[in-house]
Copies of this chain bind each other. A is one copy, B any other.
Amino acid sequence: MQKIKSGIKGLDDLLGDGIPKGKCILLVGGPGSGKTIFAIQFLVEGAKFDEAGLYISLDEKPDEVKEEMMSFGWDLESLEREGKLFFIDATPLRKADRSEKNIPIKTGVLDLKIPEVTLHSIIDTATELVSEEKIKRIAVDPITALILRYDVPSERRMAVLGFFDALSATGCTSIITSELRATQLNRDIQPEEFLAQGVIVLHTINHEGTIIKAIQIEKMRGIKHDVQLRPYVINNKGIEVFPKDRTF
C-alpha cells in the first residue's frame, strides 16, 4: 500500500511512513481541537510536492479560513493563485446571495428555503474539479452538515458509504473532519468511524483538572500503526505530534 506524507510533524512516525494514498481518513475532534488546522496543513504539505489540494468548506467561509491560517504562516491565497490549492465554498449561503446585504437572513438561511447543498452536488463539483486541475488531496470540513439530514440510521450509513466511495473514486487522498461531542475518553463510537478506511481522533481530555490534547490513530486499514494516545500541540507552525511521549 502506497503512502503519502501527512504534513503533520510527528504523525507519520505513528503510521510508519505516512497515510495510505487514495483513501478516506476520518478526523474526529472537539471544538478547538485543530481539525481545520490539520486539514489545511495536510493540503499545504501536498502543495510543497506539487500535489494540488482541494478544500471543501461546509461551515466556515473560505475567506475566514484563509485569514485564520495566516497565523501559521500559511499563505493560502498565494497557493490558490499558483493553482496548488482550490476551495469549494459549500456553506449554505452561496456567494451570489451574499452581495445583497440583508437578503441572506430575510429570505435565506432562517427561512430554510435556499437550494440546499447536497452530497450529490458537492461530489459532482469536486469530481469535475479534480479531473480538470489534477488535484491529489481533498479535505472535507466537516461532514456533519451533510449527514445530519439522514436521520434513519440505515440511510445515513448508505449515504456516508456512498460519499466515501465517490471521494475514493476520484483517486485522491481525503481527510474528512467530524465532530466529537464527548470530553472524555470513554465515549460512544460514531457509525462513521466504522465505515471510514482510517480514523484519527483528536482528544481534548480533562484529566484531574488539566486539559490534555492527545491524538490517537484509532484505525488505519492495511497499515501497521501505533495505537496509543500521543500528546500534540498547536503551535505557530500548525499541529505537532510527539510520537514517543505518553499523555499521562
A→B interface (CB under 8 Å) = 1, 30-32, 36, 59, 64, 67-71, 91-93, 101-102, 104-106, 108-110, 112, 118-120, 123-124, 127, 142, 144-145, 148-149, 151, 153-155, 157-159, 161-163, 165-166, 169, 179-189, 191, 193-197, 199, 204, 206-211, 213, 216-224, 227-229, 234-236, 246-248
Chain B: minimal CB distance from A170 (Å): 10
Q: Which of B119, B204, B219 contacts A110 (CB 8 A)?
A: B119
User: What is the total number of copies of this protein in its complex?
Assistant: 6
A183 touches B179 (CB 8 A): no
Chain B: minimal CB distance from A38 (Å): 14
A68 to B105, CA, bound (A): 33
Given A154-B149, A197-B64, A211-B229, verify A59-B161 contact (CB < 8 Å). yes
B181 touches A184 (CB 8 A): no
A124 touches B105 (CB 8 A): yes
Given A31-B218, A120-B105, A247-B209, verify A68-B1 contact (CB < 8 Å). yes
Given known contacts A31-B193, A92-B158, A211-B216, what 16 new A-B pairs fall within 8 Å (CB)?
A: A30-B218, A31-B199, A32-B219, A93-B165, A102-B127, A106-B120, A110-B119, A112-B159, A144-B157, A145-B154, A183-B186, A183-B189, A204-B227, A206-B229, A211-B227, A213-B227
Given A31-B219, A105-B123, verify A188-B181 contact (CB < 8 Å). yes
A206 CB contacts on chain B under 8 angstroms:
185-186, 229
Q: Which of B149, B217, B224, B234 contacts A235 (CB 8 A)?
A: B224
A120 CB contacts on chain B under 8 angstroms:
105-106, 110
Q: Which residue of B lies closest to A170 (CB)?
A: B101
A228 CB contacts on chain B under 8 angstroms:
210-211
A223 CB contacts on chain B under 8 angstroms:
71
A220 CB contacts on chain B under 8 angstroms:
32
